[in-house]
Structure 1
Amino acid sequence: MASALDFYFDFSSPYGYFASTRINEMAQKHNRRVDWHPFSGEAFKPSTSGTSLVQNPAKRTYIERDYIRSAKFHNIEFKIPSVFPLDTRYASRAVMWAESKYGEDKGIALAQAIFKAYYVEDKNIGDPKTIIDLGVSVGLKAEEVSEGMNNSFTKEQVRAEIDLATAKGVFGSPFVIFDGEPFWGFDRFDQLEAALKAKA
């Protein structure tokens, strides 16, 4: 079977959200599957030197305009959340736990629900209760989600995943690795699709 695309994303990244609405469909067109890898962007800060939006007001003004423009261009439902950015640790842990316990499809369903809750419904996904409620909305049990995203095994899984991502050169969201070739950013999806076509 053809190798999968590794899709790394942070829930606090609007571009990661945009990518999440396209990645599976794109891969399926070329007989590929996608492995979804959630992470919290804070984990990469010690090893990267980018200027945050908060530290650079001009950059923040531009990028917020670009979020809206990009969503409109690609016909993706979107609004800038009232709390942005925020802590995505619980969201990442919950998705990783759901995938480990119930399989890839359930993890992806929860990830998509979290993205929609944040960027369409303006829900605070930094609140563990919100994540639990979203887990229930995709068929999970509230008490299981709560225990799963807080247990030591899941926390260690997330740390190990971040270490592996760092070793592969991942530094932002979205980040896709296809047959060893890295693609950073939603604006590289045309190039990613061209690479998929070339190897189809």
Structure 2
Amino acid sequence: MKIGYARVSTQEQSLDLQMDALQQAGCEKVYSEKISGMKDDRPKLLELIDYAREGDVLVVYKLDRLGRSTKKLIELTEELEKRGIELVSIRDSIDTTSAVGKAMFRMLAVLSEMERDLISERTRAGLESARARGRRGGRPKKDSKDVDKAIKLYHTNQYSVREIEEITGVSKATLYREINSRKITMSS
């Protein structure tokens, strides 16, 4: 069964062009929604995926109707492939029901994975280079005098946590973390 999916980003946009193309492509059932492609929670797309069975074909007007990021698109197509659901994109001339279409789509997936790996390698190399120069990542540690002062103010019960933050510059999270760690140290 061919199942179509049409999406536009805003209520003002029209689905007509996509709906016509999907019907011309022979879709027996079409799911449509007006929601941003950046949103992960697209109810009609999720409903379509839940409805589709092995051997069905998901047809879209363009790949960007399924998702804006390559990562999301690859994740979705991997899910479709696992479930035995084929994908056809009318405007992008991708048809995973054919050997060439499958190969083309897998090449896109490989390039996407390579891009993720290269980003990861560059990040690791940058961190190693910074460490070699004596730099460490993360937030700078608060001066222990400021933390001690914040804890003393907290225990006086005269100041709110927000006031203590303003007076000492020690964040609420740091204050509570230090109070808890000192309780644990004292009870040990």
* Alignment TM class, shorter chain as reference: under 0.3
Q: TM-score, normalised by structure 2?
A: 0.25
Return the index of the structure with the highest Cα Rg: 2
